[in-house]
Each structure stands twice: as structure tokens, then as C-alpha cells.
A and B are shown apart, each in its own frame.
Chain A
Amino acid sequence: DGGITQSPKYLFRKEGQNVTLSCEQNLNHDAMYWYRQDPGQGLRLIYYSQIVNDFQKGDIAEGYSVSREKKESFPLTVTSAQKNPTAFYLCASSKTVTSYNEQFFGPGTRLTVL
């Protein structure tokens, strides 16, 4: 089955810790994205990547970092610099980031700061 997997489903972090959220896709898509979803605010773009070893900041990149060493993988690190990290994190992919292409979403990771 082709799709996007995210792990873990639930993640708890203590203040001051960095945590890494996993995102893997087997759709052979070039582009991958990370969004954050908060109640009443829809989805906001954190980072996106058009191709391996390249990524760009989205609207709310502060306190986050990413890497794209493989086409299939786009992990997101939530650093201690992110002041309010409790949220639902969604990874997505599309064939390319230029022109319109459907973005497919993973099941999400719910991060809670204790």
C-alpha cells in the first residue's frame, strides 16, 4: 500500500527537550511538507522540501528544524526554542511543489509538552 506514515502517534515532551517526529512516504513523491494544526487555526506550514538535500521555511519555522537526506524521509525536530509546541503535526507529500499537485497527508503526531 502506498502512503505516508508518521510516528509516533502520540509524543510527550518535557520542557527544554528536543524531540524528532518521523515522516516516511513510499509514493515516490519529490515534495514533502510539515504542517502544524491548532484548534481553530487550520493548518500552518512549517517547512517544505522540493527535493533531497533542499528545504525551505514556511510561515512558522522558528523553533523547528528539518532534514531531507532521503527522498522517502522528512523528519521534523521540535527544539526547545519552540515556545508553544503542543499541537497536532501533519506531514504531507506531493509529486512536486511547482504547479498544482494533490497533497497527501499522513495520520499525524500529537505532541504534548508536560
Chain B
Amino acid sequence: QKEVEQDPGPLSVPEGAIVSLNCTYSNSAFQYFMWYRQYSRKGPELLMYTYSSGNKEDGRFTAQVDKSSKYISLFIRDSQPSDSATYLCAMSASFGQGAQKLVFGQGTRLTINP
């Protein structure tokens, strides 16, 4: 079983729809939870990060973390064609001498249709 599970999709929705992306994880030591967006043939860029449980909102994006269920979500409101990309969840945990390591989900490929 992978430490972080993410449905790879692909997910296709019409413009203006609310998109829900999710990841589950097994390691209770994870402390920071991140969502990265990756356009085709580009490097990932950080969208949002959350520490521990709770919600965080940034414009059309909302990140939720439920540590009791080991489940994180990213919601995109009023989705736009420019949101079409692969979305990667990532989580961090220490791996010796206080160092932090990122563990990534497989990524979900999202297409927003005009």
C-alpha cells in the first residue's frame, strides 16, 4: 500500500463547475499538506499548503485536511479552462536529523471544458 493514494483520473468537468480532488494517506506522522499544480511538460508549482487539520481558502481554491480520517481535499470553485492541469497532493514528514521529506500522490489530471 502506498503512503499517499490519489485517484489519477482523468477528470473532465464543464467550465464553472466545482471540482473536488482528494487524497488519502496512511502515515499519521505527516504534518504539512500541500497541493501542487503541474501544467503539461512543466515543473509543479505550489498552490496551497496547510498545517495539521482544518480549512484554508485562497480565492477560488479551498484546501481541507481531516487528520482523523487521513483525508485531504482541494476544491476549485468556478473552474476555468486555465485550471486544466495535473494536481498533485504532497505531505511532509521528518526523515532523520529533523529533515523534512515530501511524499507525493500520483497526481490527478483535470480538464475543464469551455
Which positions in A face B, CB cutoff 8 Å? Answer: 4, 40-45, 48, 50, 56, 58, 90, 92, 97-108, 110
**Chain B residues, Cβ within 8 Å of A40:** 8, 106
Top 3 closest A-B pairs, CB basis?
Answer: A105-B43, A42-B104, A43-B104
Complex-state Cα separation, A97 to B104, whole angstroms: 16
Q: How large is the interface on B (under 10, 10 to 19, 20 to 34, 35 or more residues)?
A: 20 to 34
**Chain B residues, Cβ within 8 Å of A99:** 98, 100
Partner of A97, one of B42, B51, B100: B100
Chain B: minimal CB distance from A20 (Å): 19
By the criterion CB–CB under 8 Å, are B32 and A108 in contact? no
By the criterion CB–CB under 8 Å, are A45 and B42 in contact? no
Complex-state Cα separation, A69 to B97, whole angstroms: 22
Residue of B nearest to A10 (CB): B41
CB-CB under 8 A for A42 and B105, given A98-B98, A100-B100: yes
**Chain B residues, Cβ within 8 Å of A41:** 106
Q: List 26 A-B contacts (CB under 8 A).
A: A4-B43, A42-B104, A42-B105, A43-B44, A43-B88, A43-B104, A50-B99, A58-B101, A90-B43, A90-B44, A97-B99, A98-B97, A98-B98, A98-B99, A98-B100, A100-B92, A100-B100, A101-B100, A102-B46, A104-B46, A106-B43, A107-B42, A107-B43, A108-B42, A108-B43, A110-B41
Which positions in B face A, CB cutoff 8 Å? Answer: 4, 6, 8, 31-32, 41-46, 49, 51, 88, 90, 92, 97-102, 104-107
Residue of A nearest to B32 (CB): A100
Chain B: minimal CB distance from A7 (Å): 13
Chain B: minimal CB distance from A22 (Å): 14
* Most-contacted residue by chain A among B44, B49, B92 (CB, 10 A): B44
